[in-house]
Chains A and B, each alone.
Chain A
Amino acid sequence: MSISVYAPDGEVGPEPAALTAGPRVLTGLRIGVLDNGKPNAGLLLARVGEQLAARTGAVVALVTEKGPGANAATPCTEAVFERLRTECDVVLTGSADCGSCTSWSVHDAIQLERSGIPTVVATTTHFVELTRRVAAGFGVPEARVVVFPHPLGGTDDDTIIAWADAAVDEVVALLTRSA
């Protein structure tokens, strides 16, 4: 008499994204800033990078936009990606404070994580939920996300700098997390 049995292999997923293991300490490491060109993103991220370096003994090794022809709604160029991958140990990117810029900031961050570069995405209170959904779509709901007040665009420089300074401890914790 025939019997029914299960197949043992199940479904195949997309290439899984997983957070790379974060460094235990940031001292001596090279920080990269990938500015997607959104208003105040560069100011915010550069300040976080400087303060992170001052706090931990890391160095800001590269501050770059996404490359010729690339913008907040596209991935960064291959040349920029390669510089980040080879010249940096950790990366800060964003801002993820709209739909497409959120999707592509998360995409860039996940690609960097896949290359072994722990990467923090800067988002805002209004877009954190979308940021996490997009990250979950890539298979990494636990992506490294730091949340700032909304909006970044149109906020004065002193306020942006104060927000940046207040976020440094959390960025340290996110980068040194292993999964």
Chain B
Amino acid sequence: MERRAGTPEVFEIADASPEALLEAYASRGWGDGLPLVAPTAERVEAMLAHTEGDPEEILGVLPPRFGKATRRLVAINAVLAGCQPEVMPVLVSAVRGLARPELNLRGVNATTHPVAPMLVVHGAIAEACGFNSGIGAFGPGNRANATVGRAVRLMLLHLAGARPGDGDASQDGQPSKYSYCVAENLAASPWEAYPRTRGVDAPSAVTLHCGENPHNVHDMESSEPAPILDKVATAMASFGQNNAPIAQGEYFVLLGPEHAATIAAAGWGRRDVSLYLYERARFPAGEFRAAFTSRAWMPWMEGVADDQLLPMTGHPDNIRVMVVGGAGKHSMIVPSWGMTTSVTLPVEP
């Protein structure tokens, strides 16, 4: 296969109004249902000015449509979503992540589960572009978070062909399929930057985790780690999540800064949080077996007797911890779709 794609088609629309663009796009099966910014040559070039390399280079091929993702197509979808040009390296890196085989985009897009890729932006570019990692990080109200998350979805719709009922069989969808982007709150984190736990030591990085909407965990009263994390564990321990029968499923545990500070003040590291939750988010093995006749477990899990406790995921490393959010006494978990592994990549243009 060639490593370049042709320049995308250009066509005329009746006038420069938002209505004309929305109608022209909708009539071709494009868009996410919301108003769009017209991807004119001038706007697309302004986006491309913030990347390096051949605009027609194929960054990845996105299933199930097998759309060839190029920098120019990233730029077109970024314009449509309303992005500022400075975020282009984040989107280019996100596309590379979506194309990684372990992320299993083909499955993520095709499943009846509501899964959406959550994009987490780390480091210098998050700060430079004004991504929100603090109060209201998951939205609404911040342009970088809102439009970058939307651009990812538009690329999944347009390039990957993940249209509901077509390439996307998600039974109910979920709100995070419109936009699902947040930044790690490193300034409020007691621990090192999350990408370092994945072997990435770059000034800026992105993480993609394909999961459910965030689930809230609230604890207004505890001054020790255990009571906070016991509540997190009860949010994780659910037979309604794919993590229950699929042992490789990850949990993203997004601790609020105040919960994280309480946990760290007791001398706990990020690894302690994962190990404690691995220990505490459990059910008797017999209850798992009664609930799921088909199980994608690690072999050792089948050896555990019915009356013994089994964890919700097969390895403590599958419980991934970072700090997100602002003042308050909440944390969040994002359970996995299951047959997918999160990726963390350096941001490169």
A residues near B (Cβ < 8 Å) are: 1-16, 18-21, 136-139, 141, 178-179
Contacts and interface: CB of A to CB of B under 8 A. Distances in A.
B68 A139 contact: no
Contact of B1 (A3, A4, A6, A136): A136
Given A3-B16, A19-B101, A136-B1, A8 B8 contact: yes
B63 interface: yes
A110 to B, nearest CB: 11
Contacts of B65: 9, 12
B1 A137 contact: yes
A12 B101 contact: no
Given A16-B61, A21-B102, A8 B66 contact: no
Contacts of A178: 102
Contacts of B159: 8-10
Given A2-B13, A15-B66, A139 B101 contact: no
A142 to B, nearest CB: 11
Interface string B48-75: 0000000000101101011111100100
A178 B342 CA distance: 13
Contacts of A136: 1, 3
A9 B14 CA distance: 20
A10 B68 CA distance: 7
B1 A13 contact: yes
A141 B39 CA distance: 33
B9 interface: yes
Nearest to B9: A7
Nearest to B21: A5
B77 interface: yes
Contacts of A7: 8-11, 28, 30, 76
Contacts of B6: 11
A14 B44 CA distance: 26
A2 B103 CA distance: 41
B99 interface: yes
B270 interface: no
Contacts of B25: 8
Given A21-B341, A178-B102, A9 B66 contact: no
**Residue from A18, A136, A179 having most chain B Cβ neighbours under 10 A:** A18
A8 B101 CA distance: 24
B73 A10 contact: yes
B39 A6 contact: yes
A22 to B, nearest CB: 10
B221 interface: no
A152 to B, nearest CB: 29
A6 B44 contact: yes
Contact of A10 (B1, B67, B100): B67
A126 B338 CA distance: 44
Contacts of A5: 10-11, 13, 21, 24, 38-40
Interface of B: 1, 3, 5-6, 8-16, 21, 24-25, 28, 30, 38-41, 44, 58, 60-61, 63, 65-70, 73, 76-77, 80, 99-102, 154, 158-159, 341
Given A4-B10, A5-B13, A16-B61, A11 B99 contact: no
Nearest to A16: B61
A11 B68 CA distance: 6
Chain A to chain B: the 9 pairs with minimum beta-carbon distance, closest first: A16-B61, A7-B9, A8-B158, A139-B1, A6-B39, A9-B158, A18-B101, A13-B61, A21-B102
Nearest to A20: B101
Contacts of A11: 5-6, 8, 67-68
A12 B73 CA distance: 12
Contact of B67 (A3, A4, A13, A20): A13
A43 B147 CA distance: 58
B99 A18 contact: yes
26 contacts: A1-B16, A3-B16, A3-B40, A5-B21, A6-B8, A6-B76, A7-B28, A7-B76, A8-B154, A8-B159, A9-B65, A10-B68, A10-B69, A10-B73, A11-B8, A12-B65, A12-B66, A12-B68, A13-B5, A14-B66, A16-B60, A18-B101, A20-B101, A136-B1, A138-B1, A141-B3
B38 A2 contact: no
Contacts of B68: 10-13
A116 to B, nearest CB: 9
A19 B349 CA distance: 23
B13 A16 contact: no
B30 A9 contact: yes
A71 B284 CA distance: 53
